[in-house]
Amino acid sequence: MNPVDVERFYAHVLKGPTPEACWLWMGAISDDGYGRFWFNTPAGQKVVSAHRFALATVHGGLEAIEDQTALHWCDVPLCVRASLQPNTHLLLGTASENMKDRALKGRMPSPNAARWRRLSRAERASRSRHLREQLKQHGWDQGLIRQLVHDVDPHHPTLF
């Protein structure tokens, strides 16, 4: 991967202050609520999901992960925290593993799933863009992020 592209990519990432925090994409957001990153190739400009680009930076490039799917451990569409360490939020897997992960975490559309997990593409995009704008205005604010990502009152106490 071109080091200039990698540096430019991470210039659009807001890293959370704790070792377990998400790294949130602050760049372009597509209509599905996930980040998008453009870079130049010998064949011309290419666009890729921000989370896939992040995975590519630690797994040997886009060609190395071409046949694999990105799984979000944290379920935050704007998270791009990829590493080879146990604290990674992005994992490589198959489409089947992604569907199993989706079902285990209750992201399948159903009457019992949490409201925020059943968002349409447009609602997810709107929520992601709103989160990005709030982060640009206020910086990292855990209560605000909790509210916008999980639809939880920021003043509601946590269990742990």
133-154, pLDDT tens digit by residue? Answer: 999 998 888 887 877 776 655 4
Q: Given this model, what pLDDT does residue 47 score?
A: 95
Q: What is the pLDDT of residue 159?
A: 43
Q: In the prediction, which pLDDT does 120 show?
A: 76
Which tokens sit at 65? 């992960």
- Per-residue tokens: 73: 């451990």
* pLDDT, position 121: 79
pLDDT-flagged residues of the chain (< 50)? 110-116, 154, 156, 159-160
Nearest to 77 by CA among 58, 104, 52: 52
Distance between CA 106 and CA 48 in Å, rounded?
27
> What is the structure's pLDDT at 15?
94
Distance of CA 27 to the CA centre of its chain: 12
Give the pLDDT score at 116. Answer: 42
Residue 17 in contact with residue 105, Cβ under 8 Å? no
Q: Are 67 and 22 in contact, with CB atoms under 8 Å apart?
A: no
pTM: 0.80
Task: Report pLDDT for 90.
Answer: 92
